[in-house]
Amino acid sequence: MSEIKEKNNKTVVVGMSGGVDSSVTALLLKQQGYRVIGLFMKNWEEQDDRGQCTSAQDFDDVALTCAHIGIPFRSVNFVKEYREQVFAHFLEEYQAGYTPNPDILCNREIKFNVFFKKAMELGADYLATGHYCRTQNGQLLKGLDPQKDQSYFLNAIDGSVLSRVLFPIGDLQKQEVRAIAAKHGLPTHAKKDSTGICFIGERHFTSFLSQYIAAKPGPFKRLDGSIVGEHSGVAYYTLGQRRQLGLGGPGERWYVVSKDCEANIVYVERGDEHPALYCDELTANEVSWINGPPSVFPFKCQAKVRYRQADQACELELLEGGRLRVRFHQAQRAIAIRQSIAFYDGERCLGGGMIEAAGPSYFDMGKAVH
């Protein structure tokens, strides 16, 4: 179970998004005897088709929920920090042809950094969020709901903050969270979960990205060099992608197997199990360890190269500059460069890094491929 902190006269600031998870987080802490303050974080400013700010509904839901629970709430604006520390990086990565994960960067730079510091400035003893994770003795553990565990997204946070962070719903299943919200009449009990990247919302991803990155059409090619279609721009595709390629006839399943950004080529092949989709090792840089690195390498552990992937047995070899070579016991499918890899020892998240290169691959064109 997650650690139970001393509640007497302790203040907890809850990061509230307007969703059911953070709403139940605040409710449970209030019931446990903490002094609770709701804090809404505004990270994005954009108007919808009706000229309304897209975060206005979330803010209203936070206000209604806090009033229902009987706790005060405040709002903070981190739009500038988010654009400079998360969104700018997001665009740079896509422009270079990579597929970044802004949620991990947001957790490291915003939620558990500037937002955490703001909570402490408000006199908080702890910060709490609605993540499906747990803590124990300053370590980060997986949430007990395997379908909702979010430790992958927290693999890059500074472990020193964990002693002052609470994850009250990490011991619960999602359906239990919904049931608690409904039982207590929380305004968000039936609200749909947010999906995808927060600043994109329910919009079409390619349409959103095209507002910032100019489309540069080029050829879809097979590995033998034959052209099978035209793509909209290498930035819009990621390794392993099947949907929205517009290739082949009914029943044909085409996948992105590589990209040559310099030549503006997206390589595709047919078949769910094409060998070009698989490799058994990678190198990672920008490595961070939540509670410090292993004392001895090579080091055996488990890893995920994407959210909700089952843990994969692997061995880590330390390279120059703190980089890692990760050798998997079984070949992995669609390892995307500049996505995150998270390392685990059973239930404990050890840390993570950015995927720098994947190989040996099925083919080698003599150029960097992503």
Give the pLDDT confidence score for residue 5 in this predicted structure. 56
Say what the pLDDT of residue 213 is.
Answer: 87
Q: Across residues 192-219, what is the average pLDDT?
A: 78
Give yes or no for a contact between 253 and 274, defined as CB atoms under 8 angstroms apart. Answer: no
Fold of 277-358: Elongation Factor Tu (Ef-tu); domain 3 (2.40.30)
| CATH architecture, domain defined by 215-270 | Roll (2.30)
Residue 2 has pLDDT above 60, yes or no: no
CB 75 within 8 A of CB 59: yes
How confident is the model over 320-369, as pLDDT tens digits? Answer: 999 999 999 999 999 998 999 999 999 999 999 999 999 765 444 333 34
Cα–Cα distances (Å) from 82 to 76, 115, 280, 352, in that order, read: 12, 11, 35, 22
**What is the model's pLDDT at position 341?**
98
Residue 349 designated active-site: no
What's the confidence (pLDDT) of residue 202? 59
Marked catalytic residue, from 53, 66, 133, 198: 198
Write the pLDDT tens digit of every residue in 28-45. 999 999 999 999 998 887
pLDDT digits (tens, 9 = 90+) for 98-154: 888 889 999 999 999 999 999 999 999 999 999 999 999 999 999 999 999 999 999
* Residue 56 pLDDT grade (very low, low, confident, very high; cuts 50, 70, 90): confident
Domain ranges of the chain: 11-183, 215-270, 277-358
- For the segment 141-189, what is each residue's pLDDT rounded down to a tens digit? 999 999 999 999 999 999 999 999 999 999 999 999 999 999 999 999 9
Residue 214 has pLDDT above 90, yes or no: no
Active site includes 106? Answer: yes
Indicate which residue of 66, 106, 279, 349 is catalytic.
106
pLDDT at residue 306, as a whole number: 94
Which homologous superfamily does the CATH classification assign to the domain defined by 11-183?
HUPs (3.40.50.620)
Quick one: pLDDT at residue 365? Answer: 39
Q: Cα(165)–Cα(29) distance, rounded to whole angstroms?
A: 12
DSSP 37-90: EEEEEE----B-TTS-BTTHHHHHHHHHHHHHHT--EEEEE-HHHHIIIIIHHH
Residue entry with tokens 């292993």: 294
Provide the 10 A C-beta neighbour count for residue 111: 23
Domains 215-270 and 277-358 share a fold: no
Beta pairing partners, 142 = 133
Please give the pLDDT value at position 370: 41
Pairing relationship of beta strands 348-358 and 139-142 according to DSSP bridges: antiparallel
Give helix 20-31 / helix 174-183 axis angle, nearest 10°. 70
